[in-house]
Amino acid sequence: MIREQLEKIKNQALSELISAENEAALEELRVKVLGKKSELSSVLRGMGQLSAEERPVVGALANEVRAAVENALAERREIIMKKIGDAKLAAERIDVTMPGKAQRRGNRHPLGIVEYEMAEIFRTMGFDIVEGPEVEYDYYNFQALNIPENHPARDTQDTFYITDNILLRSQTSGVQVHVMEQTPPPIRIVSPGRVYRSDAVDATHSPNFHQMEGLVIDKGITMGDLRGQLLMFAQRMFGEDTKIRFRPHHFPFTEPSAEVDISCFACGGKGCRICKGEGWIEILGCGMVHPNVLQMSGIDPEIYTGFAFGVGIERVTLFRYAIDDMRLLYENDVRFLRQFR
C-alpha cells in the first residue's frame, strides 16, 4: 500500500511540474511534495507500522522518489530561467545599426576659461594657487590690509555685511593675509575667487565678480621684480608684443602703488574702439606691500619686502573676447555661451 502511494506521489509531482511556468509555482510544488507537511512526509511517518523486512525496501523507494522529484525540480527550474533570460534579451534588444543620438555637450564658461589660463601662467612662473573663504572677517578684509575702520578707502569697497564683524569679501587680498600669518617667507602665491561689492549692475559693474590677486615676499624684492613678472604675464596672456606702463596711484596696502596699463592687443597701441583711441588699456593695480601690512601679519619689514597685484578676471575676459557688456557673462544665455566652445 505504501509503495503504491509513493509511486502515485512521484507520478503526480512529475505531471504537475510540466505545467509550472515560474519560480513561484516551482516553490509551491516543492513545499507540497517535499515539505514537512507534505504527503510524502506523511507516508514516511507511517513506516513504523511496517515489518522489519519491509522498512529498508520502502525507505529506499522513498529516497528514490525524493531524488526523482528534486532532480525534476532542478531541470524544470533551469528551463524556466532560460525562458526568462531569453524573454529579457528579446525585450532589451538594441538595433546597433540605428544612428546614435547626439549627446549635448557643455563647455567651460568664458570666465572659467580665462581664470584657468591666468592661473596656469602664474603657476608656470612658480606661484602657488591658494583659495580662501568668501565669507570673511572684517579684520582680514580691511584692517590687516592697512584699512582701519572709517578709512575712506572702504567707501570704494563697500560690501555686504552679515554682522558688524563678518562680511562677504570685497577682494581676495584676505587670502594673502591668512597665508602671511601661517607661512614664513618666501611666499609666492596667487589667489583667484569671487568677490562682492555694493555696486549697481551695468555694462561694467556687478555686485559680484572675480579677482586674481598675487603676492610675493622675500628678501630683496623690488619694484623691478614686480614689473618683470607683470610684463611676462601680459605677454603670455595677450601676445609677445604686448607692452606695459605704470601710472602712480594709491592703495592703502601698498607703497608705492601703481595702476598698470597694457598696450592695446587689438591695434598694437595705434588707437581703436577697444582702447577708446588711447592705445592703452588699464588692466590691474599693484605695488610694494606696505610695511604695516607685513608687520601686522608677523613679518619683519626690515628683513623682507614684497609686491602685490590684483586683476579683475571679468576685465581680462571682456578684453580677451571683445565683449562690451559684462552682464552677458552672468545671464547664462546659451546662445552666447556656445560661442566659447
pLDDT digits (tens, 9 = 90+) for 84-133: 888 888 888 777 888 888 888 888 999 999 999 999 999 999 999 999 99
In terms of domains, do 189 and 232 share one? yes
In terms of domains, do 168 and 56 share one? no
Three-state DSSP class for residue 316? helix
For the chain, the domain total comes to: 2
Contacts of 281 (CB under 8 A, 6+ apart): 261, 262, 263, 264, 265, 274, 275, 319
In terms of domains, do 86 and 114 share one? no
In terms of domains, do 252 and 117 share one? yes
Q: Is the pLDDT of residue 269 over 80?
A: no
Q: Which domain range does residue 324 map to?
A: 110-340
On average, the pLDDT of the chain sits at: 85
In terms of domains, do 50 and 141 share one? no
In terms of domains, do 279 and 151 share one? yes
User: 101 in a domain, yes or no?
Assistant: no
Cα separation, 87 vs 201, whole angstroms: 62
The C-alpha cell at 221 is: 624684492
* pLDDT at res. 201: 87
User: 97 in a domain, yes or no?
Assistant: no
User: 199 in a domain, yes or no?
Assistant: yes
User: 103 in a domain, yes or no?
Assistant: no
User: 311 in a domain, yes or no?
Assistant: yes
Cα separation, 194 vs 52, whole angstroms: 95
Output the domain CATH number for residue 262. 3.30.930.10
User: 302 in a domain, yes or no?
Assistant: yes
Contacts of 233 (CB under 8 A, 6+ apart): 118, 121, 122, 125
In terms of domains, do 166 and 240 share one? yes
In terms of domains, do 199 and 266 share one? yes
**Which residue, 23, 58, 91, sits at the end of a domain?**
91
Contacts of 246 (CB under 8 A, 6+ apart): 227, 258, 259, 260
Give just the sign of the alpha carbon dihedral 120, 126, 131, 136.
Answer: negative
Cα separation, 102 vs 199, whole angstroms: 42
Q: What is the pLDDT of residues 135-178, one digit of tens each?
A: 999 999 999 999 888 777 667 667 888 998 999 999 999 999 99
User: 40 in a domain, yes or no?
Assistant: yes
* pLDDT at res. 51: 62
pLDDT range class, residue 1, cuts 50, 70, 90: low
CB 258 within 8 A of CB 248: yes
In terms of domains, do 152 and 62 share one? no
In terms of domains, do 84 and 119 share one? no
Query: What counts of helices (H) and strands (E) characterise the chain?
Result: 11, 9
The helix (run of H) or strand (run of E) holding residue 175 is helix 173-182
User: 102 in a domain, yes or no?
Assistant: no
The helix (run of H) or strand (run of E) holding residue 121 is helix 110-124
In this structure, what are the phi and psi dihedrals at residue 11, rounded to the nearest 5 degrees? -65, -40
Range name among 69-73, 99-103, 253-257, 321-325 with the lowest pLDDT average: 69-73
In terms of domains, do 158 and 201 share one? yes
The C-alpha cell at 96 is: 546597433
